[in-house]
Structure 1
Amino acid sequence: MRRRSLILAAVPAGLVTLAGCGDEKSDSSKASDSASPTAPESSAAPAPKIVEGPLPAITAGVKFGEKPTVAKGSGQPSKDLAVKTLIAGGGRTVAENDYVQAHYLGQVWDTAKVFDNSYDRKTPLIIQLAQGSIIDGWRYGLAGKKVGSRVEMAVPPAQGYGSQGNAQAGIKGTDTLVFVVDLKATFNGTSSAKGTEVAQENKDLPKVGTNTDGKAPSIEIPKADPPKKLVANYIIEGDGEEVAADSTVLVQYKGVQWDGGKEFDSTYSRKSLTSFSLQQVVKGWSQGLTGKKVGSRVLVVIPPELGYGDNPPQGSGIEKGATLVFTVDILAKM
């Protein structure tokens, strides 16, 4: 069984449970109430054959990052997954199980009806290319593409919403869907903060490693009493937008106890990123990360009353009344 994150808050507020957060199937598709390409209930079809067409023409908005206008499909679409790179990017290669950040537009082949697009929302989607998280057309069609690419796909029902369709979006079970996707970024278990190192001058606080090679940074606990109040300091300061109190974030993190420095949880150990809402986590996390910039590495020292208190999760190895120390890389705001 995959080990889950230990940071999700339970009721009453301020406590946490082992359930519900921290695996790679976390739903990160909250950018819209419409039909973003999240997976239907069942997504276990075999890998599809991928062909180059046919695909409708892009008639306007042809540059990367521009909202495209896509012609109506001509004739019958392929029964296979059709994928074409319209603009070849030079960034990192996307792999299955990565999280991708992308702008996209989706419409129905036969009618050219646009059922969803992120360009008007001005917020790219961040979602994992994993079975059960996203439709198979995206899962297979985007794997192997590079960041900076614009990709067009014609997705048959078997790799889309299946025979049940998506009634909310007006998609029938026989509809082939056309997507134009601009790949802005990709994240996986080797992703790290990117920014400017900040001096760690307080000798009474833990010192955190500044490596950005995807490996877990070190945490050196000082020979001092733990602070009584919450500490949330930049180790690496990114240049992204600030995280709000109700934001959902994608992170790498590692947690140790102040006494003894024993690690009790880590995305690095699981080799899997975690996404969560700051409204769902222990108070030390929500207060410590609010206002911090995307791309940053943050030292968070949580006193017991803002963490687990006298009720640590069973089997976690965390002592009652423990002060907790985290290094958190904020990779994206979702």
Structure 2
Amino acid sequence: MRIRPLVTLSLVAAATVVLAGCAGGSQPEASPSGTAGDLCAAAAPSGDVSEAVTVEGDEGAAPTATFEAPLEITEAQRTVVTEGSGDEVAAGDYVSYALSAYDASTGEQIGALGYTEGELLPQEIAAESPLGQSLGCATVGTRVVAALPSTDGSSPGIVYVMDVTGITPLQASGTDQAPVDGFPTVELDDDGAPTITVPDTEAPTEVQLETLKLGDGPEVLPGDKVLVQYRGVLWDDGTEFDSSWSRGAPASFVTNEVVPGFQQALEGQTVGSQVLVVVPPAAGYGDTAQGAIPAGSTLVFVVDILATQHPAAQ
């Protein structure tokens, strides 16, 4: 049995939970944007159920939780096992976490994810979300027990042990690389959003790649689901046709469900990198108009690779 990330669960989680990232379409889609709120106040209260769970295991490794089953979970509860010393999570942050899940009726472990790189994408945290109610305004390094009930009685509640492993930067964090002559130039504002200037030359006829920042995170594998920031402009006049920056939230999609040129800018790259890619029509949308993209257009993207989830974990 596989586990779906908490951000996609209601507080009344069903017994059968599935880790299934949303399937990306042919174009990237923005991640859902949470509502700002007081995470400290939103945290579920501690109670007899969450306090009845004993947790053992070192930080950074999957823990073992034991409790006397069955546990009757009638409301969401949350108990801090270990308080971390890192930064405090705030509403709107993209939180990296790991979790182990247990069937409340039997005490058996359902699964564990996030203790190995590339298993879980960071999730945006909001006060009204299950992730927000489970973690509250926890600090990085915190471990909590969260007990979530089922509303309809058709499935047992779930006991989660969750570790807050980090807060994901929403722009590339890699090391600056030397620019390549003849490529479009890129300037970043204070938030990291790129402005792309296209040279007054003929567009290339093959895909061209330039690494602007080199990250030291995990490699993006074929078929990975990625979390990225990106901006796309037309080579002909520099007009923006799509941008996660303009929408105000990073995007998440599977690498093999975007146009081939964009796919080449992702697979084989490392998390934390910023990549510029020039996509000729043959590796883009060809002779078909696509929204704001005229037929036969050469495209220029700047992509910040924030995180990746390998196919096995999807």
* Alignment counterpart, residue 297 of structure 1, candidates 265, 270, 274: 274
Cα deviation digits, residues 84-141 of structure 1 (max 9, x gap):
222223444434565432211111234211112126877542253579xxx9543422
TM-score (norm 1): 0.73
* Alignment counterpart, residue 208 of structure 1, candidates 183, 186, 190: 186
Q: Is the 8 A contact 1:215 1:268 kept in 2?
A: no
Q: SS state of the match for residue 244, structure 1?
A: coil
Q: How does 1:41-52 map to 2 (within 5 A)?
A: 50-52=44-46
Work out the CA distance in 2 between the residues paired with 1:126 and 1:201: 31
Work out the CA distance in 2 between the residues paired with 1:137 and 1:49: 9
Cα deviation digits, residues 284-315 of structure 1 (max 9, x gap):
011222211111000011011111122122xx
- Give yes or no for the alignment of 1:194 onto 2:173: yes
Work out the CA distance in 2 between the residues paired with 1:289 and 1:75: 46
- Give yes or no for the alignment of 1:163 onto 2:152: yes
Work out the CA distance in 1 between the residues paired with 2:153 and 2:255: 34
The aligned counterpart of 2:201 is 224
Gaps of 5+ in 1: 1-6, 10-15, 27-46, 166-171
Q: SS state of the match for residue 245, structure 2?
A: helix
Change (3 A) 1:119 1:292: closer
- What displacement does 1:185 show? 2.8
- What displacement does 1:180 show? 0.6
The aligned counterpart of 2:249 is 272
Q: Is the 8 A contact 1:99 1:126 kept in 2?
A: no
- Whichever residue aligns with residue 228 of structure 2, its letter is V
Q: How does 1:39-188 map to 2 (within 5 A)?
A: 50-54=44-48, 55-61=51-57, 63-73=58-68, 77=72, 79-96=74-91, 98-118=93-113, 123-126=118-121, 128-129=123-124, 137-157=130-150, 162-163=151-152, 165=154, 172=155, 175-187=156-168
TM-score (norm 2): 0.77
Q: SS state of the match for residue 105, structure 1?
A: strand
Work out the CA distance in 1 between the residues paired with 2:174 and 2:99: 28
The aligned counterpart of 1:4 is none
Work out the CA distance in 1 between the residues paired with 2:123 and 2:46: 24
- What displacement does 1:222 show? 1.5
Change (3 A) 1:276 1:111: same
The aligned counterpart of 1:326 is 301
Q: Is the 8 A contact 1:51 1:80 kept in 2?
A: no
Work out the CA distance in 2 between the residues paired with 1:310 and 1:50: 54
- Whichever residue aligns with residue 144 of structure 2, its letter is V
The aligned counterpart of 2:16 is none
- What displacement does 1:145 show? 2.1
Change (3 A) 1:256 1:91: farther
Work out the CA distance in 1 between the residues paired with 2:216 and 2:42: 40
Work out the CA distance in 1 between the residues paired with 2:71 and 2:259: 53
Q: SS state of the match for residue 256, structure 2?
A: coil
Q: SS state of the match for residue 59, structure 2?
A: coil
Work out the CA distance in 2 between the residues paired with 1:52 and 1:141: 10
Q: Is the 8 A contact 1:64 1:149 kept in 2?
A: no
Number of residue pairs matched? 276
Work out the CA distance in 2 between the residues paired with 1:87 and 1:266: 39
Q: How does 1:226-265 map to 2 (within 5 A)?
A: 226-265=203-242
Q: SS state of the match for residue 163, structure 1?
A: coil
Q: Is the 8 A contact 1:66 1:119 kept in 2?
A: no
Structure 1 stretch displaced more, 81-90 or 262-271: 81-90
- What displacement does 1:71 show? 1.7
Q: Identity of paired residues, percent?
A: 33
- What displacement does 1:247 show? 1.3
Work out the CA distance in 1 between the residues paired with 2:265 and 2:116: 28
Q: Is the 8 A contact 2:98 2:115 kept in 1?
A: no
